[in-house]
Amino acid sequence: MPSTTATRSTAVRKSSTKASPRTPDAVTLLRADHKKVSDLFDQFEKSRSTAKKRQLVAQICQELTVHAQVEEEIFYPEVQAALRDKELVPEAKVEHQSIKDLIAAVEGVEPYGEDYDAKVKVMSEWVKHHVKEEQNEMFPKAKKSKLDLVELGQRLQSRKDELLAQYPTSH
């Protein structure tokens, strides 16, 4: 009788080979999220319309909240275990908390005044710093690990879809 571990790894390998070509691996999925949020911040910087700023901030907050949640629930624990990491993941979690604090300061608030724009600007800078560390340090290490990034990507996408469905309108 095969051990549970052997059976599980065989199943994981089989599931990853049968994955739809449209399902991105975990790193590709997370990089796409990073790009989308970066583009939204760029649009905010260029906007002079209060209504447009309100809509962009709502979308930025939604994207960042969902992204952080799937990373914290699924990606980070897997990476931390695979890499036996005691530095990258804890630091990333602290960075997430700082970004969540800024989200709380601007989400649902009317976009008036210098303080509002400054909070969004600082959030953008912190997100850029966080993204740079993930993409230059964590993601390359995850790719070199034994993690099944396709299976992990499927789990991330599934959870992301669940979370996005909880929002009144998805952008």
E-state strands within 30-95: none
- 129-142 per-position pLDDT tens digit: 999 999 999 999 99
- 40 burial via Cβ count (<10 Å: 0-12, 13-18, 19+): buried
Structure tokens at 5: 């571990």
Read off the pLDDT band of 125 (50, 70, 90).
very high
- The Cβ of residue 24 has, within 10 Å, a number of other Cβ atoms equal to 19
Give CA–CA dist 165/3, Å, rounded.
38
61-109 residue pLDDT tens: 999 999 999 999 999 999 999 999 999 999 999 999 999 999 999 998 8
CA 81, CA 76: separation in Å to the nearest integer?
A: 8
Give the C-alpha separation, 112 to 132, whole Å. 30
What phi and psi, each to the nearest 5 degrees, are found at residue 161?
-60, -40
* Token code pair at residue 32: 């796409």
Structure tokens that stand for 30 in this block = 């997370």
| Non-local CB neighbours of 147 within 8 Å, separated by 6+ positions | 26, 78, 79, 82
The gap between the terminal CA atoms of the chain, to the nearest Å, is 49
- pLDDT higher at 68 or 4: 68
